[in-house]
Structure 1
Amino acid sequence: MMKEQKNIFGNKSKFAIEAILWQIDEEPIFINYCLWIRNNMVGDIGQCALLSAEMEPILKVVQLKGQRQMPFENLTAPVLTDKLIENIWGYASDYSHNVPLSNIDILSYHGECFQGYYVFLIEQQGYEWLLTKDNVDNKYYDMKIPSGIIYSTFKKFSKWIEDSTMLVLRTNNASITNG
């Protein structure tokens, strides 16, 4: 029997995470998810992955809050995104701070970009800047959003995963036996 939970966190016209958790019988739990930036899908909601493999990058987004500050010399979003991609495994020493770019690069997993997209998050005074580039079509999407919105969205997303896997997907076959 297939069990499934769907949800959208946020507003697709601004910033949102769309997700589907699913499981067949007692098999492992899978997740399909994508980001929405100004009505543009970043990722592919049709692409599934093992939930346990996706949890590390998802949780890392919130865990590293406050560690993604970086000066960027008034560069345009595409130029800055390309510079970050060029130096993805180094440090932002060119920007006068030794910020690990692995903190700014979100949702990638051990060198593989997120479903064909590079996704970066930079914290600035009063806002968060989300920068993305499609690795296939070379399309850029970016948005500046008031501080805390991206983090609170990821926090709600993480909590939903935890609640859904513990309370719904795993417990449908639970029973109480009298001893």
Structure 2
Amino acid sequence: MFQPLYQVHEVTQETKELATARKIAAIVAALTLPTIARSELTYRALPADLEAKLIGYLQGFCLPICAAWQIEDSDVPLAATGLVITLIFPDSPASFTKSIDSAIVDSEAFSKGMEAGRRDGELYRTTGRKGTALLQILANDFRGFCDYSKVTADVPA
């Protein structure tokens, strides 16, 4: 007489790699978002070299976490970087999240950003503390694109 009520849940077909990338992106975003938000970085106006440096930093931060989790798939840090950008800049133009191409990756700015991100990521992985490389990058390179006064108080002399 009475039919049981069934709830239908949407089933996603997310791969294990994408699920891992989401976890890494959540960690990196949680550690970098407060600094970027406080600086009021206007990402829509970033020149290509600064965009490359920021993307490099975020990808560099993802790499030590991937190494600690023994992730060998090179697509995971790349996917995590794109997800971090989407988390930090939800209103970012689609070109910003899709701009991790060979031209950016081969640039000197990307390499410098990636090295700084790797240092901060390694510090987080080994000690659980945030590094200061992002603060230094914002204070030194992004002055015209963020509220420098809010960043300088946190940058070590």
Question: TM-score normalised to the size of structure 1?
Answer: 0.26
Q: Which of the pair has the greater relative contact order for Cα pairs under 8 Å at 6+ separation? A: 2
Q: Give the structure with the larger strand fraction.
A: 1
